[in-house]
Amino acid sequence: MEYVRDPDEIYRQSFEIVRAETDLSGVPDDMGDVVIRLVHACGMPEIAADLRWSDGVASAARAALGAGAPVICDAQMVADGVIAARLPAENQILSMIRLPNLVALAREQGTTRSAAQVELWKPFLPGSVVAIGNAPTALFRLLEVIAEDPSRKPAAILGFPVGFVGAAESKVALHDGANDGSHDVPYMTILGRKGGSAMAAAAVNALAGRYEA
C-alpha cells in the first residue's frame, strides 16, 4: 500500500491541511495555534465555530504555566496526553481519578468519582491550569467550589467534557458564568456535546508550546 511514512512529512501535511480548511477569521493571534491544535486533535475543522473563550485566557494560562503552576486533569487520559516536555517549568501534571480512596469518597458524597476528586484538588487549585476532557460533573463541581471559595480560583479552565448527559450544560455554565459575573476565571470551551480528553490535552499542549525548546 502507498501511504506517507515520514513522520515529519505527516506532521507538515496535517497542519497544512488544518490551516487550509479551518476558518480562523475572527480568531485573535494568541488563540490561533490553540484552535489549530484542537482541530488537529479531533479531525473536524468545523468545530472552530463552536469554540468559546474569554479574552486573555491564552496569556493567563501561559503566564501560569511559566510560573510553574500545576496542570490539573479530570481524567488520566488527559494527563497522559499532556506532553511534559512542552511544559515550561517542569510543571506537575495531576490526576487524582485513580486514588484508592476516591470510590468511598464518591459514595459518601453521593456523586461521581470525577466530581469527588475536585475536593482533593482544592489545595492545588489556586493559580493552576485545569483541563477537563471527560466528566461534566467535574466541571460543575469545580464551578461550585469556586463560587463557595473564590480564593481557590484557577488561573484558567480548559473545559472540554464530552457526552450526552450534562456535557453541553456544564460548558454553558462555564461560558455563561464568565459573562454574567458568576466567576471571572479565564476559560476556553466548546459548546455542545463534543469534546474529549484529546482536545483538553491539545489545548494544554498548545498553550505550553511557545516554551518548547
The answer to whether the beta carbons of residues 134 and 161 sit under 8 Å apart is yes
Quick check: is 183 catalytic? no
**How far apart are alpha carbons 78 and 191 in whole angstroms?**
19
156-159 β-sheet, strand order: 51-53, 187-190, 156-159, 129-132, 71-73, 93-95
Alpha helices in 71-148 (DSSP H): 76-81, 102-109, 113-121, 136-148
Among 18, 36, 39, 40, which one carries the catalytic annotation? 40
Question: Which residue, 62, 52, 48, is CA-closest to 188?
Answer: 52
The answer to whether the beta carbons of residues 103 and 45 sit under 8 Å apart is no
Tell me, what amino acid is at 197? S
Active site residues: 40
